[in-house]
Structure 1
Amino acid sequence: MSEKIQKILSNLGYGSRRYIEKKIFLGVVYINAVKVSIGDRFEYDNIKSITINQKNYCIKFDPKRVLIYNKPIGEICTRKDEKNRNTVFKNLPKLLFSRWITVGRLDYRTSGLLLFTNYGELAYRLMHPNYMIIREYLVNVFGIFSKKKMNILNKGIFLDNSISRFHSIKYLSGSKNNKWFSVSLFQGKNKEVRRLWKYIGIEVNQLIRIRYGDVILPKSLRVKDFLEVNFSLIKKIFRSVSLKY
């Protein structure tokens, strides 16, 4: 089955769809020594060579993989950083013919579950709001609580051109103005959890992601360590976004 070339190259780990489309528009992408246009369709088996920015690649495939990573506070979700800060890619295993793609992001101050895959379409679907993939966090917050404020979080607020709300809010422990909650939501807007609490005047002291869709952060997985997802779970992850493994 043929697919658009920007989708194929993204799936193979050569960059995001937007990045690939930009390179195609600039005329620096060649497949089998022929310059391509946006929307050109190919079958994977018919691609023998790829050239991007005058760099040649022999087409080979890594198996589709998913990693669970326990991100610490202080790492950023980019490949390179101008300030030379540690990135989440530093401790990952090497791939031969593709590259790791983050499934969503966690900000500098947030720790916990971060997923990686080398299959671009899977990453794209897991992040897309249409697939309603749940994210769950443990959050320690400080401030003055009231029923009115909790009702606002349940009802939702307007963020980034759409309504944001928690799917669930569960009190766990703490007293007075310092409490732990479990919260979940279906979107992945930038710093969405922190912004929701900030809207009602509550400060987030600590934020830990413990679940992304069917994947739960293992209690035995130490900070800065990664774990390869097993065959049965990776099949389940693919099915959750209507993909075959």
Structure 2
Amino acid sequence: MPAKPVKPRKPRSSTPSPAGGRRREGASSAPPARRGARADASAPRREAEDAPERDPAPARTPRVPRETSKRTRHQEFAAKPERLHKLLAQSGYGSRREMEEMIEAGRVAVDGETATVGLLVSPGARVKINGKLVQLKFSNRLPRVILYHKPEGEIVSRDDPEKRPSVFNALPRLSGGRWVAVGRLDFNTSGLLLFTTSGELANRLMHPRYNLVREYAVRVLGEISDEARLRLREGVELEDGPAKFAAFEDAGGDGANRWYRVALYEGRNREVRRMFESVGVVVSRLMRVRYGPFILPPGLRRGQVREIEAPDVQKLLADFGLDVPAPGRPLHRPRER
């Protein structure tokens, strides 16, 4: 089969280029840049002499790193420097005493240097505990306080080897800081549980010298004799020392079950149940209905949270002798996620 004749290719435009080659009409005189190729540093830059002058481009605002921006924004609310152990306590990392012990152990660093007890810290300082950066809340930032209606079957702990449901899973999530539980309730006990973002406030609410009353609704099988009531009011001996109820009232009941309202001024482990067991009575249901000035709201269902309003939190801080944000200042509230 004879070969097909090849059609000759049409020659390109003969317009000479500055480099001595040929180029198309209307095309740029600069050679096309190959993808991925580096610019030749030896090649002179071509500038148009007849090009009109242009206004210089406005200077771009330098980008502020996220962490620096966050610290700067917090300085708008910042007060005077505060002592490190106090600052960590009110930020929710433990009591003042626990923070002092942590600092003495060399576990806290400020701006890369190992901290010492009594060190004053200003807003913007980088504080780390065990090498991890922590969020600080100065005293002019109002802490948060919430009421939680704990159901039975939840544990008041973040770490449980048995992997049981935790009360902390039901709380609002914080962008900085953490929730501190005010006391505890047993796994099988329901009712009022307080949380706050201030470790110092939590310590005051739990300290025995403030004598905050804890009131419970108790259900038992059958009635309790007058002799047993008297013993529970005057005091019974437990493994960890004597205990007694400050109040003991009959709350009625249907059938074989009877309800009682009891109150005491301390919160030892399973104390109410152990006190009833000491007089031969088994508790079938236990619910805390009051803690200090807080009463379990009737409309707060199990598993629900209610936050205390800012004026009530300010009053609470004043009642316990803690620093209160000055009126008119913006009150810092951590954002929820």
SS of equivalent residue, structure 2 residue 298: coil
Instruction: Specify the alignment match of 1:86 in structure 2.
Output: 165
CA distance in 1, matches of 2:120, 2:192: 34
Question: 1:216-231 maps to which residues of 2 (within 5 A)?
Answer: 216-231=295-310
Instruction: Specify the alignment match of 1:50 in structure 2.
Output: 127
1:77 is aligned to 2:170: no
1:242 is aligned to 2:242: no
AA paired with 2:195?
Answer: F
SS of equivalent residue, structure 2 residue 252: strand
Q: TM-score, normalised by structure 2?
A: 0.66
CA distance in 2, matches of 1:17, 1:174: 45
SS of equivalent residue, structure 1 residue 234: helix
Instruction: Specify the alignment match of 1:139 in structure 2.
Output: 218
Cα-to-partner distance string for 1:33-92 (whole Å, 9 max, x where unaligned)? 22123xx11445356111122223464566411000000000000012221111010011
Cα-to-partner distance string for 1:145-196 (whole Å, 9 max, x where unaligned)? 2221111101012346543211101101137863101111111111111111
Instruction: Specify the alignment match of 1:66 in structure 2.
Output: 145
1:154 is aligned to 2:233: yes
Kindly indicate whether structure 1 or structure 2 has the higher relative contact order, using CA contacts under 8 Å at least 6 residues apart.
1
CA distance in 1, matches of 2:239, 2:124: 40
Q: Structure 1: 5+ residue runs without aligned partners?
A: none
CA distance in 2, matches of 1:158, 1:173: 27
Question: 1:155-174 maps to which residues of 2 (within 5 A)?
Answer: 155-159=234-238, 162-174=241-253
Matched length: 243
The alpha-carbon distance between structure 1 residues 82 and 47, as it changes in their structure 2 partners (threshold 3 A), is: same
Instruction: Specify the alignment match of 1:10 in structure 2.
Output: 89
CA distance in 1, matches of 2:136, 2:310: 25
AA paired with 1:56?
Answer: L
Contact 1:47–1:59 (Cα < 8 Å) also in 2: no
The alpha-carbon distance between structure 1 residues 172 and 216, as it changes in their structure 2 partners (threshold 3 A), is: same
Instruction: Specify the alignment match of 2:267 in structure 1.
Output: 188
Contact 2:142–2:314 (Cα < 8 Å) also in 1: no
Instruction: Specify the alignment match of 2:118 in structure 1.
Output: 41
Contact 1:135–1:186 (Cα < 8 Å) also in 2: yes
Whose strand fraction is larger, Structure 1's or Structure 2's? Answer: 1
CA distance in 1, matches of 2:204, 2:272: 21
Q: Give me the identity figure in percent.
A: 40
Cα-to-partner distance string for 1:104-134 (whole Å, 9 max, x where unaligned)? 0001000010000000111001101100011
The alpha-carbon distance between structure 1 residues 228 and 44, as it changes in their structure 2 partners (threshold 3 A), is: farther
CA distance in 1, matches of 2:302, 2:164: 17
Q: Which of these residues, 195, 209, 225, is aligned with residue 288 of structure 2?
A: 209
After superposition, the CA RMSD in angstroms is 2.4
Q: TM-score, normalised by structure 1?
A: 0.88
CA distance in 1, matches of 2:135, 2:265: 39
